[in-house]
Structure 1
Amino acid sequence: MTELSTNEEDMCMVLERNTDTRAITSAHQYSSHHGLAFDVDDKLLQTGGAKPRIVGALVIRCQLDLRQIIRQSPRGSKKSLFAFTTQFRAMATEFKVKDLAALDLKPGEKREVEVDGVEGGKVLLLNVGGKTTAVGAKCTHYGAPLVKGVLTGDGRITCPWHGACFNAKTGDIENAPAIDNLPVFGLVEKDGGVYVTGAQETIKGSRRKPNIRCSAVKPENIVVVGGGSGAIGTVEALREQGYKGSITLISNEGYLPIDRTKLSKALIPDPVKIGLRDQQWFDEAGITTVTDEVTEVDFLTKKVHTKSASVYPYTKLVLATGGTPRQLPLPGFKELGNIFVLRNIHNVKDILAAIGEKNKKIVVIGSSFIGMEVAKATSKDNTVSVVGMEKVPLERVMGEQVGSYLQKQLEATGVKFHMSAGVDKALPSSSDPTKVGAIQLQDGTKLDADLVILGVGVAPATEYLKDNKSVQLAKDGSLTVDENFLVQGLDGVYAVGDIATYPYHGPGGNGAPVRIEHWNVAQNSGRAAAAHIVAPTAARKPFIPIFWSALGAQLRYCGNTGSGFDGRVVQGLLEEYKFAVFYTRGEEVVAVATMGKDPVVSHASELMRKGVFPKKAELAKGLDILTIEVPA
């Protein structure tokens, strides 16, 4: 190692040693974890022999101790000299932490601190097992303060809002719905103070893009069919975990993957505003995006056929085609206009066009989460009626008691409910008989309607497999998979998200097959499939289903009541929308729902993951689960 400059603000070091491209990964990961931009000079890439080599000198400009990179850089098998050139575009700077003289955090403690010299800059200090690290202070999903989250004994920090989880040491994603990692900053105690090292913009932004730059160098080819949460979870994790083969993403939606959860909550018609990644990201990741519709899969020859007559061969296939909104097979619903489902951007545009200048009469059929959210989203400037078959909204999932309070919350915004009701038919408008004018219920009630929105569930989008003799669909049209989301009976084929029925090992599951239509589950299942593709013998990382809903106050939920529940324990006040409800089967808690009680659901999900959740009797006595540490 030769020192070229002693300037502390621009320290240059040259490392010359026998090395190969693995060293680049080492340096890249190290720099990324410390909030530093990293780039490899592609001009120095040369191919010699069986694998590419980087020829040149390593030049690193930063203020960090680079001995770790040197230690991690593996020696090449040949005596000839190989080296590589890198350059940090964003300089790392050392900043003093305000009002902190020493790193005195106790194990399990987390502390948000301000950074001197960075306007609005904060970092989060975490002590896991006696060692303190500094990471970004905000969740990379929606910006929740992670200091209010859950730190576990095995080194995970979980967002208090939506369950996004990160490794407390590396900042890497452990659980959806976040897609960006947390930055990790250099941390040192000296001269009577505490200092962090990192790029100023990274400290302020509190996020780190995954290391996904890749030019495919292996002959393998993965085809991912779908454009939703499961698809983005798969392709992100493949590149994060080092897959170097080609990836093709085929979607029929006409735009890149979006945050679909915002469609029913806010009716946003612009895919760019809610896009998860732009085209440049996919290009840099070496992921080919295709807009087309898959019509057939030949599992014997391993080829995907599309509507445009294109054929895509694969070595591994991930099916992530999501759900198809259900229609009502009743008179008038197929023939009349202004009757909509809500699944994609095109649906949102059609709904907004029908609403026009507002003050419309809207009938929402279905009192599930989609129906309730779209009712709330449209109620401000319109007259909205909800029709549901249950006694109260969400009764099957949340129970009658909680459902009644959720109904009251929306009634306060002007939404009218017609529950325990069946729909008879859709009637034409007197002014335009081609469009809907009213919905007639089975008891004869007529609800005037300028437009109707159906929220009556989704079916697995597997129409392209119905006549395929190589695969057996379940009764509901889904694909049965194992713990790694491998489809039973097929070679190298995975199914994730809404189309996958998988063995559930969460509380009360005992490996029973479930199909869960949650955004987080889809993304996590995609990540699980990717992990198995990259490292098929590695231990599986279980996840607990989490979802949330905007129904006035924010509703959080973890676990699964698909197999039913026979009891509840309520802590808090339902009427004040500040409560935690524990759904039980016998003495076992199988799910938890909260409003105004963050981070109870995040904490509950971690206790469930570790298998240490308290019993019903303890909760009935008033036990606060936040007092229970999540063990290592």
Structure 2
Amino acid sequence: MPGRRDPGATVSTADAAPSRIAVVGASAAGLSVVEGLRREGYTGSLTLIGEEEHLPYDRPPLSKQLLSGEWDTERVRLRGEEDVAALGLQLRLGSPAVALDTQAREVALADGSLVGYDALVVATGTRARRLPGTESVRGVHVLRTLEDSLALREDLAAGLRLVVVGGGFIGAEAAAVARGLGCEVTLVTDTAEPMGDALGDELGAMLRTVHHEHGVRIETGVLVDRVLTAGGRAAGVRLADGRALTADAVLVGIGALPNIEWLTGSGVPVGNGVECDATLYAGSGVWAAGDVACWLHPRTGEPWRIEHRTNAAEQGLAVARNILAGPEQAAPFDSVPYVWSDQYDLKIQIYGRTRGADEMRVVEGSTAERKLVALYGKNGRTCAAVGINMVRAVRGYRAQVAAAAPLLTGSTA
């Protein structure tokens, strides 16, 4: 796989002792990198480049607290202006990176300027997938940026008819928020159950029942063919089976794409993200962290790319330490992925990776109680633990997931 370091390769002086480090992506991962570097005693030049004009902010609240109006925009900031200023950064916000020259070790920005570096971190994250031809249609929303959340929030007036395309985390969370605001909501997913890809059919069916009880209409196992418009604004969707659903607004939550186009021609290996070795190193002085990083997992040898908030922060800190250690002394990145979702009165937590599991066992509680812990296994080994309204109990299974222990029926805590 591209990105795997040649053990016999020599390490440049820039790799061994970088005096200038540039981080592309003013994201949770990017912030974690720069904070980690300063915490580890790095005193060299540190540049943080961001496409958006905002200081780094938290994305999970965009489909929950910010969308509902419970939080304002200041509350989603990860750090205040004084905290960021104390890091001694050269901030280049509002001008995205457009090209990379790994020979000259320079990043070209959209404003025409160049940023030099000795070590570079790519933390550019992902962007929301869109339905073709909907980019300029009023009333069609995605939910990835702060502006996306505010624009959708403005549309979510009581009585508005909303169609949510996609039954993953974003779609299910936004549907719950919209119902709480008094909207008429229809959720359309191509899976058998909402969040079926992440939870499986048994827990997905429980979740569908909860959404039904809160008034969400759910269409499962069907694709959206196109968005219907009237006067340049969304008027509904047409399903692949020919049916039409009327709507005043449409939210598209069908996944995300890694932001790697600006690396074309740079020599940095890309595919499903920036392709790295087990230490998050992509070669040529380039590292990656967060949603955009696709690294070789040290235990499985498989390429992993994880779009979770906690993973971004953990990878950022790991990259900071590995940059200072140098590529030859860098440590493999091996952690237990963690993600959570809040829907109505449910708190859903996932440790590990449920996708690809071939077995699921409810080991505490039950779906009837809507309070449970479920273990997921692959080839007889524990690959994930899911908790629903059992925050403390599910945490006890993290070690079992980390060790890929035999799939058992009790906690190892």
- What TM-score do the two structures reach when normalised by structure 2? 0.89
User: Aligned pair 1:319/2:122, yes or no?
Assistant: yes
1:326–1:219 Cα change, 3 Å:
closer
Unaligned regions of 5+ residues in structure 1, if any?
1-217
In the other structure, the counterpart of 2:196 is 395
Q: Which amino acid aligns with 1:234?
A: V
User: Aligned pair 1:542/2:334, yes or no?
Assistant: yes
How far apart, CA to CA, are the structure 1 residues paired with 2:178 and 2:317?
A: 34
Q: Which amino acid aligns with 1:586?
A: N
CA contact (8 A) 2:99 2:266 kept: no
1:538–1:424 Cα change, 3 Å:
closer
1:293–1:538 Cα change, 3 Å:
closer
More deviation, 260-269/447-456: 260-269
In the other structure, the counterpart of 2:243 is 445
SS in 1 for 2:281: coil
In the other structure, the counterpart of 2:255 is 457
SS in 2 for 1:305: strand
Task: Choose from 382, 385, 406 the match for 1:615.
Answer: 406
1:283–1:327 Cα change, 3 Å:
same
In the other structure, the counterpart of 1:382 is 183
Percent identity at matched positions? Answer: 29
In the other structure, the counterpart of 1:247 is 46
In the other structure, the counterpart of 2:5 is none
In the other structure, the counterpart of 2:358 is 566
Please list, as runs of the form range in 1=range in 2, the aligned pairs for 1:17-416 lying within 5 A after superposition. 220-266=19-65, 267=67, 270-291=72-93, 292-329=95-132, 333-334=134-135, 336-355=137-156, 357-380=157-180, 381-416=182-217
Q: Which amino acid aligns with 2:113?
A: S
Q: Which amino acid aligns with 1:372?
A: A
Q: Deviations over 1:219-245 (max 9, x none)?
A: 711111112221111111111111111
Q: Which amino acid aligns with 1:482?
A: D
Q: How far did 1:251 drift?
A: 0.6
Q: Which amino acid aligns with 2:317?
A: R
How far apart, CA to CA, are the structure 2 residues paired with 1:219 and 1:427?
A: 53
Q: Deviations over 1:5-57 (max 9, x none)?
A: xxxxxxxxxxxxxxxxxxxxxxxxxxxxxxxxxxxxxxxxxxxxxxxxxxxxx
In the other structure, the counterpart of 1:527 is 317
How far apart, CA to CA, are the structure 2 residues paired with 1:439 and 1:338?
A: 12
CA contact (8 A) 1:558 1:593 kept: yes
Q: Deviations over 1:402-434 (max 9, x none)?
A: 1111111122221110111111222123xxx11
Q: Which amino acid aligns with 1:561?
A: T
In the other structure, the counterpart of 2:284 is 491
In the other structure, the counterpart of 1:511 is 301
Larger proportion of helix = 2
How far apart, CA to CA, are the structure 2 residues paired with 1:369 and 1:298?
A: 37
How far apart, CA to CA, are the structure 2 residues paired with 1:235 and 1:604?
A: 32
How far apart, CA to CA, are the structure 2 residues paired with 1:219 and 1:483?
A: 21
How far apart, CA to CA, are the structure 1 residues paired with 2:270 and 2:297?
A: 19
Q: Deviations over 1:112-132 (max 9, x none)?
A: xxxxxxxxxxxxxxxxxxxxx
Q: How far did 1:460 drift?
A: 0.3
SS in 1 for 2:401: helix
CA contact (8 A) 1:319 1:496 kept: yes
Question: Relative contact order, CA 8 A, sep 6+: which one is greater?
Answer: 2
How far apart, CA to CA, are the structure 1 residues paired with 2:294 and 2:303?
A: 6
Q: Which amino acid aligns with 2:204?
A: G
SS in 1 for 2:193: coil
CA contact (8 A) 1:549 1:556 kept: yes
In the other structure, the counterpart of 1:427 is 228
In the other structure, the counterpart of 1:589 is 382
How far apart, CA to CA, are the structure 1 residues paired with 2:136 and 2:401?
A: 48
SS in 2 for 1:570: strand
How far apart, CA to CA, are the structure 1 residues paired with 2:130 and 2:398?
A: 34
CA contact (8 A) 1:255 1:271 kept: no
CA contact (8 A) 1:327 1:456 kept: yes
Q: How far did 1:317 drift?
A: 0.4
SS in 1 for 2:227: strand
How far apart, CA to CA, are the structure 1 residues paired with 2:199 and 2:375?
A: 10
Q: How far did 1:469 drift?
A: 4.6
Unaligned regions of 5+ residues in structure 2, if any?
1-16
1:503–1:472 Cα change, 3 Å:
closer
1:535–1:587 Cα change, 3 Å:
same
Q: How far did 1:560 drift?
A: 1.2
CA contact (8 A) 2:279 2:330 kept: no
Task: Choose from 532, 543, 557 the match for 2:350.
Answer: 557
Structure number with greater Rg is: 1
Root-mean-square deviation (Å): 1.8
How far apart, CA to CA, are the structure 1 residues paired with 2:149 and 2:361?
A: 38
How far apart, CA to CA, are the structure 1 residues paired with 2:85 and 2:367?
A: 49
How far apart, CA to CA, are the structure 1 residues paired with 2:332 and 2:210?
A: 41
CA contact (8 A) 2:297 2:334 kept: no
SS in 2 for 1:557: strand
Q: Which amino acid aligns with 2:74?
A: V
